[in-house]
Amino acid sequence: MKEYIESYDPECDPNPEAWLAIDEDERLSFISGYHKKARIKLPNLIVHAALHAIVENQVAMGDEIPVRRTLKRLLAEGLDRHDAIHAIGSVLAKFMYNRVKKNDSATDDPNLAYWVALEQLTVESWQNSE
């Protein structure tokens, strides 16, 4: 039986196949809806939801990239899942900002710096960066 996504809760792992099967706009709507319902005040809900969606998409991709492994490690270090998504999202946002700022056209894998930063991310380093 095929599983469907009916809502989003960052404290619960969405079924990867079901998550990736829904349209990106629907993912963003679910994530925005969660934050609105939880009355979480954000400077920019659209950007926040987009970062959540990217991280959730990367987690759903499995072990081909280090995001799911990083999430599991942060959970083992004591973060709840929502905060772990935020920690990974902070690394992602910094990586994206630096790529745009530098107008980087490097020939190496453009994600390598992101993967390395994720491998170095700890609860302590994230909390100290805030």
Residue 58 is assigned to a structural domain of this protein: yes
8 assigned to some structural domain: no
102 within domain boundaries: yes
Q: What are the pLDDT digits (tens) for 58-106?
A: 999 999 999 999 999 999 999 999 999 999 999 999 998 888 887 656 5
Separation CA 87–CA 76 (nearest Å): 14
CA dihedral sign, ordered 25, 40, 80, 125: positive
Looking at per-residue confidence, does 97 or 28 come out higher?
28
Q: Which domain holds residue 108?
A: 16-129
Q: How many domains does the chain have?
A: 1
Task: Please report whether residue 123 resides in a domain.
Answer: yes
- Rounded to whole angstroms, the Cα distance separating 117 from 42 reads 25
- In percent, the amount of the chain with pLDDT more than 70 equals 93
- Is position 6 within any domain? no
In a domain, 11, yes or no: no
Predicted TM-score (pTM) of this structure: 0.92
